[in-house]
A and B are shown apart, each in its own frame.
Chain A
């Protein structure tokens, strides 16, 4: 099936019906294996001890918080440039999921920071730019709730999403550009990962599992949004019929 075929909401719903269970089962399987490896196979860190087990949820949630915004940015381009009928559906559906993963990243980071740094929070570049990402997500969700017409809301949100996209490279490179308390990049870097394979393997399995979970949730939320728009259209038609009768 070509990507353009999914522009038809009915075809997308058929695709989602098939893809959601596959992504869901994949996520459940990978996360189960990842949790087992994280708690029963992976060693403790020589400096951080058992608190390294927070890494297996903190890093995937941080990656997904940012990846979700990249999906929203591409969807925003789809809305404004290509006028793809499902682009703003994708964007609206992704926002609460991205906000949830970003919130989880901040909470797990604070719970990791207290025993390791001696504080839950510092206003350093990585933490602050991630908090800004959460605020952008919340602002976008509020914008969709404020404007009643989904088309107008989608265009306004697309512009705001593109403006907010500047924050993604800031989050990614904040640990390189500024002197931060947060550790530098240790997985996706030019010289290769600095984490030992006994910790890196469970981390990657958890990250792939969390990504599969995101795919299942995003497709489900998109399906719900399409149904919500059908309900809205039927209500408007019923109201118009009632007014002319």
Chain B
């Protein structure tokens, strides 16, 4: 292990802070990306479902005289 001298704790804390901030930023963009993709997929699915014509129910078919 490299000798960091009498101020080792300050050096270790500074590098730990750098690691924490870097990993935090990477986690933030990745989690946000997944969240936005999930929401976008759900909204597009809902929009597609609305566009598709609903299948006629038996009651509607009977009313229209369809045997």
Write the residues of chain A forming the contact surface with B, with a CB cutoff of 8 angstroms: 39-40, 44, 49-51, 53-54, 57-58, 61, 96-97, 100-101, 103-104, 107-108, 111-112, 114-115, 213, 217, 220-221, 223-224, 227-228, 230-231, 234-235, 237-238, 241
Q: Known contacts being A44-B5, A53-B4, A234-B43, is A103 close to B21, with CB within 8 Å?
A: yes
Q: Determine whether B32 belongs to the interface, using a CB cutoff of 8 Å to chain A.
A: yes
B25 engages A50 (CB within 8 Å)? no
From B7, which residue of chain A is reached at the shortest CB distance? Answer: A115
Assess A57 versus B14: contact at CB under 8 Å? Given A103-B21, A234-B47, A238-B47: yes
B20 to chain A, nearest CB (A): 9
Please count the residue pairs between chain A and chain B whose beta carbons lie under 8 angstroms apart in the complex: 90
Query: Once the chains bind, are A112 and B22 in contact (CB under 8 Å)?
Result: no
Closest to A57 in B: B18
A53 surroundings in chain B (CB, below 8 A): 4, 11, 15
CB distance from B46 to the nearest CB of A (A): 7
Instruction: Say whether A50 contacts B29, CB under 8 Å.
Output: no
Q: Which residues of A contact B17 (CB under 8 A)?
A: 104, 107-108, 111
B11 near A50: Cβ-Cβ < 8 Å: yes
Contacts of A237 in B (CB 8 A): 47
A108→B14 contact, CB < 8 A: yes
Considering only CB atoms, which chain B residue lies closest to A24 in the complex?
B26
Residues of B in contact with A, size category = 20 to 34
Shortest 3 CB-CB distances between A and B: which pairs?
A227-B36, A220-B29, A50-B5
Does B47 contact A100, Cβ atoms closer than 8 Å? no
Q: How far is the CA of A114 from the CA of B8 in the complex (A)?
A: 12
Q: Which residues of A contact B18 (CB under 8 A)?
A: 57, 61, 104, 108
Residues of B within 8 A of A112 (CB): 10, 14
Besides A220-B30, A234-B40, 13 more A-B contacts (Cβ < 8 Å) are A49-B7, A50-B8, A53-B4, A54-B10, A58-B14, A61-B18, A96-B28, A111-B11, A111-B13, A112-B14, A223-B33, A224-B32, A234-B47
B57 within 8 A of A: no
Min Cβ gap B36→A in Å is 4
Residues of A within 8 A of B47 (CB): 234, 237-238
For A38, the closest partner residue in chain B by CB is B15
| Chain B residues with CB under 8 A of A49 | 5-7
